[in-house]
A and B are shown apart, each in its own frame.
Chain A
Amino acid sequence: MEIIIILIIISLLVAISFLVAFLWAVKSGQFEDRYTPSVRVLFDEEKKIGNNNKKL
């Protein structure tokens, strides 16, 4: 049964790595502009994009 203790510690480490990833994302400013990237991703250099009528 002691294996459960080890497994739980591992799972906690995984959870901590997600927490660190979240903190890093906040720090690097990913939550500062939550709109522009969603538009930017639709711009394409090669292909011609159809009429994007999404109301802003």
Chain B
Amino acid sequence: MSNEKAYINEQVICYHCGDICKDKTIGKEEKFFCCQGCKIVFEILEENKLCKYYDFEKTPGISPAVRSESKYSYLEDEQTARQILDFSDAKINTVTFYIPQIHCSSCIWLLENINRLNKGIVSSQVNFLQKKLSLKFLNDKTSLKEIAELLDSIGYEPLINLDSVEKKKKSNYNKKLYYKIGVAGFAAGNIMLFSFPEYFGLDRSLDSVFGNFFGYLNLLISIPVLLYSASVYYLPAIKALRKRAINIDFPISLGIFALFFRSAYEILAQTGAGYSDSLTMLVFLLLVGKIFQNKTYDALNFERTYKSYFPLSVSIIKSGIETTIPLSKLKKGDRIIVRNGELIPADSILFKGDGNIDYGFVTGESIPVNKILGEIVYAGGKQYGEAIELEVLKDVSQSYLTQLWNNDTFTKKEDQTVSWFSNMVGKYFTIAVLLIANVSTIIWLNINPGIALSVFTSVLIVACPCAIALAIPFTLGNALRNYGKGNFYLKNINTIERLAKTDTIVFDKTGTITQSGNSSVNFIGEPLDELEKSIVKSISRHSTHPLSRRVYLEYQDCEHFEISNLKEYSGKGISGNILISKVALGSYAFAIGKPEPEKHPGEEKSSKVYFSINDRLRGVFSINNSYRKGLEEVIKSLGNDYKLHLLSGDNENERPHLSKIFNNNSILHFKQSPEDKLNYILRLQADGKRVLMIGDGLNDAGAIKQSDVGISVSEDISGFSPSCDGILDAENFSKLPEMISYAKTSMKIIYMSFVFSVLYNIIGLYFAVNGLLSPLFAAVLMPVSSVSVVLFCVIASDFMARKKLGEIRFYNVL
């Protein structure tokens, strides 16, 4: 890349991270940087001849966060280090870091060449999709802390939290499925080859040596398929039987056993060639369906609890000395230090310092809240600014936010992984098949007892609901991928089925239907001079009202004056005396002292803060409610088919505006605590409603978990989200109605393919009950029916996705 300065609309962008350079003085050798942090990273890389980093992608860098000296000092603690390390001996340690910032090929190159920056690192390997970095390093040359600090200093901040320590084991279920597919595919391919003589009319009476040889070989090869590959169907079937239920795995298992024992009998008794080819092909196709439906988003985590966000350790002060202890040892009454950007781990009292706490994690509202000495600060907030000292009031797990996870909702074992539809099919299918099999056997016993048993097994074989067992994983697995292209990531395919069945939608307000941290403040009136700006800052600083807080943020860099006679009237405004003037900030009536004139229609869209000096109106701050783009259309279109509810943790300020967006049937609730939200969902469910909850922050976590489908709206999909069934990129929020209707369409496709497969079954059954099912016929009918149903599902599902979700930008990072 030769052009050292890159321009976008004549603006200089940072050579390192690609942000716009507001300050154009930070430069080096004709390269410009947006901040000192980026420049420092560039210098580190340049010094170590790692500038190739900038060759693979344009502006690949990440602006490093400001870091306090002791951020990683807890890694010096041996016990903590042992929890993080994957493997450790006297010389070499192995560690895996989760680094959400990994985003391009430059990242892979730099992180895999990290040993040029630290000679103690022996090897490093990136797993891009999981955003993980595995490192091996020499004990005597470097330490965990040094490596973490090095990564942080070049912008790749490793995320180390309670969760990453507790959940290290990853299940190898998927690996087993691959083994099983391998065995089944091997058997299916070979048996098909060995069955060719049979297909082409090998005369058993002439070539009995070959006929028997191929027969025994096929039987031998199909044994591992029966015992190993197909075992994924037996266990669920038995489990369901124990609960006195029949699911779709039962008729499948029945069909597999009928196929095998019928084949074994025919081969050993030398009466026929058996159905080993159909058996192995069927198992192979079914397992392919299982792999297809198991599409997972490695980089996303749907199982987060508060533990995913809480630090591993905290700094405490004990008799004047600062030490680091693991979070689990934190007790009531401990004195802790929370630095810039650190999370408050437990409900505490502010003891020292100026609290400026961002509860974005909890509520989705990212405007920091000012806290003064003696106030209670709740767990989950992030401190910005100077370090503060807190005295812990409650244990970590008993805090206002975290106690939500003690609720039954979170301890309940999830049993929503089985498809409702396939179980309905399985149940009635099995009953019908057993009925037909028995009736036709009884009839044949009277006509020709010799072939009665063969008719019985033929019916079981041909009625195996393999087409429907394939239709579900392929349609929904395909839908899952199409959703992913539209940046809507679902946990598993059963979510789609449940989504299609919901009839009630509950929204959270802040952060879900509003955009966090993106409201704009306009001043209407004569522009303010510096003195007036300082006055606005000084008075709004003391307000607790969110609108005034927003005004404060706009002017927080201005000078500060002392205020006397400060009075705040909740819901009205704040007033006080600055210098010699009386200043008021608040509603029209409050600021001017006169009743408000009639509003023009269409004016309500933004919230207004009136500013007066000596009771004379100086101007109006208009704060645009930054509701998400397309919200009105989304609500309007969903309101036709669904009952809508809104649960907000905020006060009622927004009710008039929101009740205009939502229709009259919708129910709006304000001042809801996290537990209120959870209980609200429980009440809806008790009324027989199937609830879709759309939320974002940890305060919605209970409601999202309890609801039938919980979706989290997130501006940064790999960043923060509570435990949920799906993560929707906030950018595509306006597509929500189409997304939900696509789920319904997918289910319709499955119902249609079910009709097809029943037709196939009827044809097969006709031959089976008449005692005409030949191995060749079975070997053709079964794959043809399965493959045609799968093709129909995939094509229909893609077509509908293009029709419904078509306008979505189809880009995908996962």
Contacts and interface: CB of A to CB of B under 8 A. Distances in A.
Contact of A5 (B186, B213, B813): B213
Interface string B178-201: 110011001001100010000000
A26 B108 CA distance: 23
Contact of A48 (B55, B126, B178, B190): B55
Contact of A55 (B189, B217, B811): B811
B182 A22 contact: yes
B104 interface: yes
Contacts of B128: 33, 35-36, 39, 56
A10 interface: no
A49 interface: yes
Contacts of B52: 48-49
A16 B811 CA distance: 41
Interface in B390-440: none
B1 interface: yes
A25 to B, nearest CB: 9
A56 B104 contact: yes
A33 B129 contact: yes
Nearest to B105: A39
Contacts of A49: 52, 55-56
A35 B190 CA distance: 31
Contacts of B57: 52-53
Nearest to A54: B105
B79 to A, nearest CB: 30
A12 B47 CA distance: 59
Interface in A23-48: 23, 26-27, 31-36, 39-40, 42-43, 48
Contacts of B569: none
A49 B108 CA distance: 15
B186 A33 contact: no
B1 A51 contact: yes
Contacts of B813: 56
A3 interface: no
B129 A19 contact: no
Nearest to A9: B217
Interface string B208-219: 001001000100
A12 B189 CA distance: 11
Contact of A19 (B108, B127, B182): B182
B307 interface: no
Nearest to B57: A52
Contacts of A56: 103-105, 128, 813
A16 to B, nearest CB: 8
A40 B55 contact: no
Contacts of A23: 179, 182
A46 B57 CA distance: 19
Interface string B100-113: 00011100110010
A51 B58 CA distance: 8
Contact of B130 (A19, A33, A42): A33
A44 to B, nearest CB: 10
A52 B190 contact: no
B599 interface: no
B175 interface: yes
B102 to A, nearest CB: 10
Contact of B55 (A16, A32, A33, A51): A51
A52 B109 CA distance: 12
A54 B104 CA distance: 9
B127 A36 contact: yes
B105 to A, nearest CB: 5
Contacts of B175: 26-27, 31
**Residue of A16, A18, A35 with highest tally of chain B CB at under 10 A:** A35
A52 B1 CA distance: 10
Contacts of A55: 811
A33 B210 contact: no
Nearest to A43: B109
A26 B56 contact: no
B178 A26 contact: yes
Contacts of A51: 1, 55-56, 58
Interface in B92-131: 103-105, 108-109, 112, 125-130
A54 to B, nearest CB: 7
**Residue of B108, B112, B813 with highest tally of chain A CB at under 10 A:** B108
A14 B685 CA distance: 58
Contact of A42 (B1, B105, B194): B105
A18 B185 CA distance: 11
Interface of B: 1, 52, 55-58, 103-105, 108-109, 112, 125-130, 175, 178-179, 182-183, 186, 189-190, 194, 210, 213, 217, 811, 813
Given A12-B217, A16-B186, A51-B1, 6 more contacts: A8-B217, A26-B182, A35-B128, A36-B128, A43-B108, A51-B55
Interface of A: 1, 4-5, 8, 12, 15-16, 18-19, 22-23, 26-27, 31-36, 39-40, 42-43, 48-49, 51-56
10 contacts: A8-B213, A8-B217, A23-B179, A31-B175, A35-B128, A36-B126, A36-B129, A51-B1, A55-B811, A56-B104
